[in-house]
Every structure is written in structure tokens, then in C-alpha cells.
Amino acid sequence: MNSTAQALQQKIDTKTKPLGSLGELEWLALQVGTIQNTLTPVLSNPTVLVFAADHGVASEGVSAYPSTVTAQMVLNFLQGGAAVNVFCKQHNIKMKVIDAGVNYDFPPQMHLIHAKIAKGTRNYMYEPAMTEAELNLCFTKATKIVDRLAVNNCNIVGFGEMGIGNTSSASLLMSHFCDLPLEQCVGRGTGLNDEQLQHKLACLLQAQQCHADLTEPKQVLAALGGFEIVQMTAAMLAAYQQNMILLIDGFIASSAFLAAKAINPDIQDNAIFCHLSDEQGHQKLLAHLGVRPVLKLGMRLGEGSGCALAYPLVESAVTFLNQMASFESANVSQC
């Protein structure tokens, strides 16, 4: 524990409360203060980034929904009708929607960030999902998005996604980076029945076998990722370089984080894992990282919805650290 962290812990321990009685809020306060290297941290211009893209593997029937739903949901985001819109509005969080690779032509005047690489990835059951050039373009575009946030004094950013078929990519990435059997990583996604789940698993086992010789993180991302997942990974890395606080949503965002950590292991210092998804692999993924989620609500929606719900708790942690009296200042006896 460095000197700032020690001073933060002392400040937390001498607030007018029994030692440790604010539980996880105390850990959050310590983490945020340590990230910002100050005893008086500040949260500025909180923003949730929602990356959207389509997946070639969706044509194999790995989702309960058709791929056209990706574009439909993006339009819903832009109209303010999704869960993440509602929660962001409730908690005064800015929200930005990024077209990373949706199979739809959005009018240029629409209020979204146009970062389309292509109209969906290739089918990774038979070939890599994207080329090296496409992967590099994902990194370039996502870094620019985060750098613009930094110019606008954002220091806490949440990561969400939308893309029919993207739990399949997430499961493959989790299996690789956590070195776990695919069977422990694949879940029901949008609500598959038992037969559909077995079909999804069979498809993903074929994809895994097709790309079994890959080891370098970016190669794995190019082979098995989606444009929205790769841009999320790149945005997380860029946000860490800007020393932002990273709010990681559920299963898919956490899988993108696994890739980011494989590229830069230090990134975990700045990451807050917002909730435990009801997707079956997420608990094992978080255990692999050795982290505890802020919330456990049985959610499996994606979109960054967990980020928007966890943010006010992070805000409460910073508020008690900055505003709550100490035993000394309040003239309260300390045991």
C-alpha cells in the first residue's frame, strides 16, 4: 500500500463510524482516491459508452433474436427508450452510442458516434472475424473517442454494448483468457432454450477449434471478437492511459476487459466491476480476476445498464470520504 493509500485508509478509519462499517463503500473510496492519488477525489462528467455492432456468427442461430435487432436497439438508444437511457438520465450520466459495425446505414445527422468498421464481422466458425487492419482501425477510432472525453474533463467512464450474437464472442474470449473449458463459459444469452444452447455450444466449439493456434491477445481479438468488443477493449486501454475510473458492466464488457488486461495487466487498478451478471460464466470470470462486483441483481441486459446503476454508489463512496466528519472534527470519542 503506497503512502496515499495509507493516508486514505487512515482517513476512512477515523470517520465517525465503527471501523469498516460502511463495507464496500470504504473499498470504493480507497480505490478511487488511490487512482486519483488524492485524499479528496472528484468524479467529473461521468459517461457511459455503448458500442454496437453485428456478428457474422449470428447467421448460425446462436441467439434467440435476429441480427436486425441490433440496429433496432441502437435506434431505441437514440430515442432514449432503453434501460440504460433511463438509468443514465436518472443519475445525471452522459451516454454516447457508438456504431462500431452495425449492419445498417444510420443517417449522418443522427446523434451517435459514427465509427463503423464494416457492416458486421465475418463468421469466425470458418475464418477470422476481422482482418488485422480492421482490428487496428478499431483501436484508432476507440482511442479518439476516449481522448475526446478526456478533453471534456471526464474522469469516470462506463462500458456497455449491443450486438446480437455477442455473448458468443464473449464466451470464446473468456475461455481463452481464463483458460477454462468453453462449456463453463457459454450461457443462454438472450434466452436460449436447452436445445438452442447446445447448438450454440457446438458452433462455438467449432470456432474455437478453427482458431486454436492463436496466443497473442490482439490475434485472438481479431479472430473471435466483434467490432464493438474490440472497440470496448481499446477504449478501456485508452481510458486507463488517461487515468480514468473504468466502470465495467456485465459479462460481455468483462470479456473485453480480459483482453485489455492481457495487453496491459495494470489496467485492473482502475477498474470497478459493476454487477454480477446472471449469465452463467460471469461469476467464474470475476473469480479469475479476483474481484467483487458492486451489485448482484440477477441482471443480464448489457447496454451498460449495470454501470449506470453502480455509479451512484461510487458517488456515495466519494461523498462520504470528502464530507463525513472525523471523530476529531466532531468531538466524538473513539474507542
In this structure, are residues 163 and 70 in contact, taking their beta carbons and an 8 Å threshold?
yes
Residues 6+ apart with CB under 8 A from 81: none
- Taking the C-alpha atoms of residue 229 and residue 334, their distance in angstroms, rounded to an integer, is 50
Helix (H) or strand (E) holding 305: helix 305-323
CA–CA dist 199, 188 (Å, integer): 11
Q: Is 183 a catalytic residue?
A: no
How far apart (Å, rounded) are the C-alpha atoms in residues 266 and 217? 15
Identified catalytic residue from 134, 228, 303, 315: 303
* Alpha-carbon torsion angle 76, 80, 83, 89, nearest 10: 160
- State the DSSP code for 114: E
Residues 6+ apart with CB under 8 A from 165: 54, 55, 57, 58, 62, 63, 67, 226
- Cell numbers 461521468 correspond to 46
Sequence-separated (6 or more) residues with CB below 8 Å from residue 84: 48, 50, 77, 95, 160, 303, 304, 305, 308
Can you name the residues that pair with 94 across neighbouring β-strands? 47
How far is 38 from 243, CA to CA, in rounded Å? 13
119, amino acid identity: K
- Cell match 497473442: residue? 216
In angstroms, the CA 85 to CA 305 distance is: 8
How many C-beta atoms surround the C-beta of residue 287 within 10 A?
11
Active site (catalytic) residues: 303
